[in-house]
Amino acid sequence: MKQTEETQQTDYMDSAIDVEAGAELCSGRYKLLKVLGQGGFGITYMGLHTGLGKTVAIKEYFPKDVFRRMEDGT
């Protein structure tokens, strides 16, 4: 079955939602706290820069050219 652009975008969105609060990124440098919002281009999370103890915004983009996940889902 051939996927449409809309179906592909939905697949990316379903995959992105699988990231749970508390997930660590960049070898533990950042920690996801919660989802702030999501739309057609991606999801914005509230995160924590663990080294600085500062709150940051982390964006995850859906377009196939830039959307990549590691095997552990992060």
Does residue 72 sit within a domain? no
Quick check: is 70 in a domain?
no
Q: Is position 40 within any domain?
A: yes
**20 assigned to some structural domain:** yes
Establish if 44 belongs to a structural domain: yes
Read off the pTM: 0.60
Q: Is residue 18 part of a domain?
A: yes
Give the angle 31-35-39 at the CA atoms, nearest 5°. Answer: 130
Our count of domains for the chain comes to 1
Q: Which domain holds residue 21?
A: 5-61
Is residue 22 in a domain?
Answer: yes
Residue 59 labeled ligand binder: yes
CB-CB neighbours of 30 under 10 Å? 19
Mind listing the pLDDT tens digit for each residue in 10-43?
454 454 455 788 888 889 999 999 999 988 788 9
